[in-house]
Structure 1
């Protein structure tokens, strides 16, 4: 991942910077000789891979959340909480990067992720993700992204039978009978990434620079040392992707890990604990939504839509571009720090201003389907 200068000290650093597959980068990081400078270099690359992965979920989660007409219903609140925690995770990893003298690259306009696509870094290669509304397919994909290494057994309260997460979603939007293969090799790429990051921090014990780190609504604390890094990584893994053995009770029944939150929405029942067992019990109805179409590859083109639609689509892309630029500026070496972060939070709220009206406009010749934003950098 091209996050550093193209002036490399040696072949090891050059390869670390150019690798785009997370598994390969983790493997490469373990081949380094006992050279502190090389280990710090590859640590920055591993951290930036984590930043890109965390940010990659933001558009697809927001798109699904915005299609919910009642933004105060339980489902909307749950997904909003997940989005906020994903932003928190990204911000905390950005603090780790600047703490060791790096500079996060959240999005590369030329080579960055453009939906529909798989996740960056070759993570979960079985997934092909779309900008689409809240439905069984999007929820099943979200569950797959957040899948822990081991899933707690949860029973239906009425039947007392264990509930399966079901098959994967195909590219036509249908739930299939193809089951996810539970295996250590397949499931733990994100967890392995964070584990390797933590291993290198604990080994190197770097003197953390807190001057460019940010604290506030998007990042709860600065990374003062390797101990605070370890604490942050434990929280990231427990709340979201890469957890090894998280049960609903691990994070508290009122603050479920992301996988279990999405499973509740998918199964339409809330998870409760009774004794040493978990059940899907209380109804969690799927809310009424705008039925938006999957955004096509490359997004909608100006010549294909009305002036009204194009104004909303293009305005959204402009604000989204500003959001990414402000976030990068917040942690840049010569950036504006907290002031840029405040700007990012302000423009984040502007996205809805264009997304929600757009989702109410029907697409001609596609009965019942509406437009949705494209999340393009321009």
Structure 2
């Protein structure tokens, strides 16, 4: 088995190719660490898209949609961390090998044709996000390959074999449900039922169900699962069901994009590696400040799940990241002034 800490390995593909009955306790722990890395890898591009929206009015439809998905992903991340620690595993976020790399693939070999990039919200970035969330058999768009949902289903299939490992140790809880919808609370994994319910929430919020594209754990009635919500933004049309054929298609009312900062995604290793757009001293300071805040957030999250403590410190760091990101997105690229800089999400090791 490839080391679990190698972000760019094909460890998830290896796990998916292994018969369920051959999984050991270690495979389950490795799978959960991989799931944590998957959830973490989606938050920066989704957050960048949210932070690039000029209006701060959370009732604006597209902003509301992207914001709710960001909070869903944070909830999923927390639930999977609790799954790992309840069976005696250790959440690892601050080994440089576990930190997401942009631009680059999803961790573990999931959907290897995708290159995940940072940047502001556009039709193209929404299409990328839909591809990340794509079910194996979407109701409105044909898909193939190993999906994130299929990986979670494998974990759900295997977990009952190791239910005896569940101890309820080092569980972190946080109430998100009252603000962001049923199922969004980060809750303790004290029983197998807790685990299986959490996996179902994660799958359904991302992919919908076999019969409906709606999120069955919404913040508001009619809220779509992530794949379909992002696909509406990408297609620029609402998803509607033909009353005669019952087929779902993106042929409804227009979905206009909100005004955004035209934030570009940095090259691998950061903006210093772009010879035409190397940042000046002030911009470099902003970028470094963001990277320090991001790194501090990862350390705070890791510390919380290693001790069962509060994630309050991590939330504070993310709030600071939001403010710094907006400052970065206000600075025009010197060689391409119709675009702005975007955060780098580099892990600071010194």
Tell me whether 1:327 sits opposite 2:301 in the alignment. Answer: yes
- For each residue in 1:133-158, what CA deviation from the matched residue of structure 2 results, as whole angstroms up to 9, or x when unmatched? 111221111111111122224xxxxx
Tell me whether 1:232 sits opposite 2:198 in the alignment. Answer: yes
Q: For 1:251-330, what aligned pairs fall within 5 Å after superposition?
A: 251=216, 254-272=222-240, 275=243, 276=246, 278=248, 280-301=251-272, 304-330=278-304
Q: For 1:201-220, what aligned pairs fall within 5 Å after superposition?
A: 201-217=159-175, 219-220=185-186
The 1-side partners of 2:314 and 2:78 are apart by 12
Q: Which has the larger radius of gyration?
A: 1
1:45 corresponds, among 30, 47, 68, to 30
The 2-side partners of 1:249 and 1:376 are apart by 35
Name the SS for the 1:79 alignment partner: helix
Counterpart contact for 1:238–1:246, Cα < 8 Å = no
Counterpart contact for 2:110–2:148, Cα < 8 Å = yes
The 2-side partners of 1:209 and 1:272 are apart by 45
The 2-side partners of 1:250 and 1:94 are apart by 22
Change (3 A) 1:194 1:305: same
Deviation at 1:23, TM superposition (A): 1.5
1:30 corresponds, among 20, 41, 46, to 20
The 1-side partners of 2:315 and 2:72 are apart by 14
Number of aligned residue pairs: 328
Question: Could you tell me the TM-score, scaled by structure 1's length?
Answer: 0.79
- The runs of 5 or more residues in structure 1 that have no matched partner are 5-15, 33-37, 154-164, 166-180
Name the SS for the 1:285 alignment partner: coil
The 1-side partners of 2:9 and 2:333 are apart by 40
Runs of 4+ more than 6 Å apart? none
Deviation at 1:59, TM superposition (A): 0.7
Counterpart contact for 1:64–1:133, Cα < 8 Å = yes
- The runs of 5 or more residues in structure 2 that have no matched partner are 177-184
Matched residue, 1:70:
55
Deviation at 1:95, TM superposition (A): 0.5
Name the SS for the 2:238 alignment partner: strand
Counterpart contact for 1:64–1:134, Cα < 8 Å = yes
Indicate the larger mover: 207-216 or 311-320.
207-216
Deviation at 1:129, TM superposition (A): 1.6
Indicate the larger mover: 135-144 or 277-286.
277-286
Name the SS for the 2:343 alignment partner: coil
Change (3 A) 1:65 1:367: same
Counterpart contact for 1:362–1:368, Cα < 8 Å = yes
The 2-side partners of 1:273 and 1:189 are apart by 24
The 1-side partners of 2:94 and 2:18 are apart by 23
